[in-house]
Structure formats: C-alpha cells, structure tokens
Amino acid sequence: MAINESKLNSRIWLSPPHMSGYEQEFIEEAFKLNWIAPLGPNVNGFENDIEVYLNQNRHVTALSSGTAAIHLALHIIGVKAKDEVICQTKTFVASVNPVKYLGATPILVDSEKETWNICPKLLEQAIIDRINKGKKPKAIIAINLYGMPYNTMQIETISKKYNIPIIEDSAEAFGSEVYGRKCGTFGDFSILSFNGNKIITTSGGGALITSSKKLKEKAVFLATQAKEDGNEYIHKTLGYNYRMSNIIAGIGRGQMRVLDNYVSLRRRNYKYYQQNLCHIKAITFLNEPKGFTSNRWLTCILLDNENTRNNLLKLLNDHNIEARPSWKPMHLQPLYKNVPTYLNGVSEELYKKGLCLPSGSNLTKNDLKRIVNLIKSYFGEA
C-alpha cells in the first residue's frame, strides 16, 4: 500500500538526466589510464562522435559549458567592450550573459510566431536601425528554442546581406534538423550544451562548433589559458580555463550512443500530449514548419491566457509534477531592462501563455497518462 502510494505520487521531473549504461565503460577506461584531466582520449572521442553525427565537416571543441562556448564564439568574432550584439530576447539568460561578460551591449529582438525564434523582419529592422544610429552589430545570436530551429534560411540571408556572423545557440536543439541538416551546423559558430537538463547530458558541459580546423585550434588555445607553444608558459593573450574534462567527456561518449533514440522518445512525448489534448480549445501546440524537425526537447503548450497557465502550473506542482512557465524574455529581466529592444509582443505573449510540460526521455506511459488526465480534469473532463 505504502509502496503503491509513493509510486503513484512520485515526483515527475521536467527534464531529468537519462543515463544509458554505456557511460560507465568510458569513465572506467579514463580511470584505468589515469586520464583525469581536461584533455585525453574521451575528449577527442566525444568531439569526433559529434562531428560524425553532425555530418557537415564541422570542427567541435568540447568545453565546460554552453555558456563558455558562446563566450568563446564572441571572443573569436572579436566582440569588445561597447560593441553591440543582437540576441533573441526569448531565451534562457545564458545566451545573453556572455555579451555582457565582454562589456558589450545586447540588442534584444523579438520572435516570430512560426518558430518562436528570432523574427527575420524585426532582425533586419534592428540591423538597419543600429547602423543608422552609428554602430553595426558585431554578431547575431539566434536560438533554437525548445528544440525548434529558427528560420535558418531567412536569418542566414540577412546575415550574409549585412555581413554579420551568426552564433547559433543549439543548447536545446541537439538532434533537431532543417531539411535533414542537423542543428549545430547553421551558424558561423554554433554551440551545444550538455547541462543536466538537456537532451543528452554530461552533468555539465558544452561544445563550440566551427567551420574550420583553424578556428577550432583557436578555440582550444583560448580555452586552455592561451598558453603559447613550448614549456615556458608564455602568455600573450587573455585566455580561459574552459576545456572539458576527460571524465565528463566519457559520459558524453556514452550519451552519444543513444541520442537518436532520445530524440524519438521526446518526440513521442510531444505526440502523446498533442493527440490527447489538442481537442481542448484553450490549448495550442507549436507545429513544425515544412522541412523542420524539432527534437522536442521540451513540449511547451500555449494556454488561452495567463490565468489558465498559472492555474495549471499550480495544479501540476500540487500533484508533484514539475512544470514551468515558458522562458521569461530577456527584456523583462531586471538585468537587461535598460538595453535597446525591437519588439512585436510575441515573446511576451509566449511567456504569459506558455507552459512547459515534463518531457524527459525516461518518462513512462503511466507518467504521461497521469499528466494528461490531470490537465483534462482541469478542463472538466473525467
């Protein structure tokens, strides 16, 4: 009785880690060889696994976090104090903070309804306006939010037209695709995150993806304190300690073996929610535009208004089910309330109405049923 009850009410998490069982062998190997360092065979192996997976001749640098990867991308592009960098306002704070680390100013741009990501029209308006005001933005940070790719073709066209590089933030979109091409290969620089809640995780970690071997070498150099060749420890430039450890990379190698499976499982979650809830008028889902495949990292539904969203959030949490509001746009954050913005109301609406549902690849059919039934009960369905 006690066991059943605790099982029935056991906590359902939003997006918990999901170990495959393959991780341990890579970690043991690292211990056996005493490769307990921020370099080693697992680091090289993990990078190679990702390069093969992305299949676009890209070069991957494994790092301590996705945030570090964005910081390095901005550094390599040459962003300096007082520069301006355009960033999608609808995102997690880690996308924008590295701009501030460098003393530069983020210029926040709103989303389009089709993908919830940076609006091409507003992006171009923002670029033109910043140029007219006397400063050409140094980079565009575009996000693949919740796994849904941004409008890659239009954003790339604008980037080329004004010759401003794109940093593609695919922290939430590993495994997503546009017309068969993987996310993580669309930016001049792209980044991944392996934080504990992402589709695959190394507990914490990230990667910077570049288009040439030379850029990768630069990233590795900067990520290892910018030490010049030789054993005299000569430093001419400011570097960072951002490299991934060989133990952590071992977890990553194990996780790479199941990435495609986890994409299917997260997509299964989305489909289950959609099939069982789409008849409720107050709920809408984000469909994939033609040619787009989202990894459905999180299933995020939109409610008819903020009140319903808050009620459902509370109901789920009262029943030991972790749900979350959709990301609060950066221009509503106290930290970024004074930076220039180009807004159309979309990100604020998504924030007020958006609810992220449990989306882990380790959710059971019973978990999904429990969540769906609770939501249905709110709308008066037994």
Which residues would be at the binding site for ligand PLP (CB under 6 A)? Answer: 65-67, 91-92, 94-95, 143, 169, 171-172, 193, 195, 206
Q: For residues 59 and 198, which CB has a smaller minimum distance to ligand PLP in the complex?
A: 198
Least gap, CB of 252 to ligand PLP (angstroms)? 12
Asked whether the beta carbons of 82 and 110 are under 8 A apart, the reply is no
Pick 87 or 126: Cβ nearer ligand PLP: 87
Residue 170: partners with Cβ closer than 8 Å, 6 or more residues away: 144, 176, 183, 184, 190, 191, 192
What is residue 228's three-state secondary structure? coil
CB 130 within 8 A of CB 106: no
CB nearer to ligand PLP: pick between 15 and 159: 15
Work out how close the CB of 201 gets to ligand PLP at its nearest, in angstroms, rounded to a whole number: 9
**Which residue's entry shows tokens 């535009």?**
289
Shortest Å distance, C-beta 373 to ligand PLP: 29
Reference 46, options 30, 33, 31; nearest CA is 30
Residue among 165 and 368 whose Cβ is closer to ligand PLP: 165
Nearest residue to ligand PLP on Cβ basis: 66
Residues with a catalytic annotation lie at 198
The answer to whether the Cα torsion of 8, 12, 16, 20 is positive or negative is positive
Q: Which of 205, 210, 122, 124 is nearest to 167 (CA)?
A: 210
Q: How far is the CB of 141 from ligand PLP (least distance, A)?
A: 9
**DSSP string spanning 64-105?**
S-HHHHHHHHHHHHT--TT-EEEEESSS-GGGTHHHHHTT-E
The CA-CA-CA angle for residues 24, 25, 30, to 5°, reads 95
State the nearest-atom distance from the C-beta of 311 to ligand PLP, in Å: 26
**Closer by beta carbon to ligand PLP, 298 or else 339:** 298
